[in-house]
Amino acid sequence: MLRIWIISAALLFGVLSLTAQEQKIIKGTITDKRTGDAVPYANIGIEGTYWGAASNADGYFEFKVPTDNTIGSLFASAVGYEAFRTDLASLNTASLTIQLEPTAYDIGEVSVSANSLVLLKTIRDAVDAISSNYEQGPLSMSAYYKYKKSVDNQPVRVDEAIVELSDASGYKRENPLKEQQNRNYRVTETRRNFDVKKLADGMNQLDNLLTCDVVRTRRNLLDNNFLQNWDLSADPTEKYEGRDAWIINYTINKPDFEHTGIFNVTSYHGKIYISKEDKAILRNELWIQVANPSQHGWSIATERAKASMAEYEIMINYRKSGTKYFPSFTKMVSRETSTNQNSGATQTVTSESYLLPLSTETLRPKLLDKRDYYSEVPFNKNFWESFTLAVE
């Protein structure tokens, strides 16, 4: 029995060695001849055989063929490109760069599908780069907050504040519950042009503004678990503030809480700007419609005694400080129209809210343990007289 095993092992080793000697590797990259960009998911192989592979998301391919196979043609094909062929005998197998010529005719929806794969990879790369581009540890921040609100023809109400914010885990990709638990804020200074007479007067819009931080908040385009559900298209512009950038339009046809983190959402589409240099998210623009929105934040579902519809326009910018990116400015404009189901009266509320970080601390962050949804901090005349700020 032992002798048979030894002989079998020797024979197997010999077969494996012979197989390794008889094979060679063909590898390389497939690119767009006009742009130089990688062509993902292209088919490549030896015509008339089973030897071949598909290029990966970076256009790279690799497969094995018998060493003595020198007859035939190497072919490569991809949606939206003319087929490539070359004689196998003249092939340099060390490392190939195959350039595909884009077809000159309109290929319609098939081309859109191929383009979407490239955009999917661009967004996935940006998600993977979050851990290196954004702070992964605790941080705290001081910020200026402003909220302007008008109801029909009534005078505009202006609520300003200095707020302290903290996040116990920074920009780590966590589940939505942990995001809520780790993020807190408190109001340290306020200035209002109206008196606080009821609970709603003292409430702020900070929860919704923090949700606008698309990099930190999980339920949005940057969730890889649901990325394939979004419709993507490339914007022709490739520059943002002088930097080379991918600008991707995105929408979801059937928005829900799972994809957006917003209850009763009816429409959701946006535009995201991604740096080509380091794959950092530089800016996000978003347009949302919500039926019966909660006054306590998008992530809270409440029953209301009036039918309403709200439209939101959101913008957030990120800038690099040192080696990491942080939010530099957040703006949200909303318009809500509601009808009281009892009286039939209609009311329109228009508002603008802003959050402008003033300083960020990562070495010795001051972590908070609660959120100031409601604030009655008294007006400090000396502070506001010395505080100057220009918001463009």
CA 41 to chain centre: 23
Query: Is residue 108 scored above 50 in pLDDT?
Result: no
pLDDT grade for 13, boundaries at 50, 70 and 90 = very low
CA distance 112 to 118: 10
- Per DSSP, 224 falls in state G
Residue range 68-84: mean pLDDT, rounded: 77
pLDDT grade for 6, boundaries at 50, 70 and 90 = very low
237 class by beta-carbon count within 10 Å (0-12 exposed, 13-18 middle, 19+ buried): exposed
Q: Please give the pLDDT value at position 201.
A: 74
Look at residues 318, 312, 127, 320 and name the one whose alpha carbon lies nearest to residue 225.
Answer: 127
Query: Is residue 127 scored above 90 in pLDDT?
Result: yes
Q: Which of 69-78, 185-194, 314-323 has the lowest mean pLDDT?
A: 69-78
**Do 311 and 288 contact (CB within 8 A), yes or no?**
yes
Task: Kindly give, in sequence order, each residue whose CB lies less than 8 Å from that of residue 15, ignoring residues fewer than 6 positions away.
Answer: none
How far lies 277's CA from each of 133, 240, 330, in Å?
11, 12, 23
* Two structure tokens written together for 355: 């959050």
pTM to 2 decimal places: 0.70
How far lies 326's CA from each of 137, 214, 215, 333, in Å?
13, 12, 10, 21
CA 223 to chain centre: 7
Please provide residue 390's backbone torsions phi and psi, each rounded to the nearest 5 degrees.
Answer: -115, 120
- Per DSSP, 259 falls in state H
**Do 166 and 361 contact (CB within 8 A), yes or no?**
no
- Find where tokens 């385009």 sit: 221
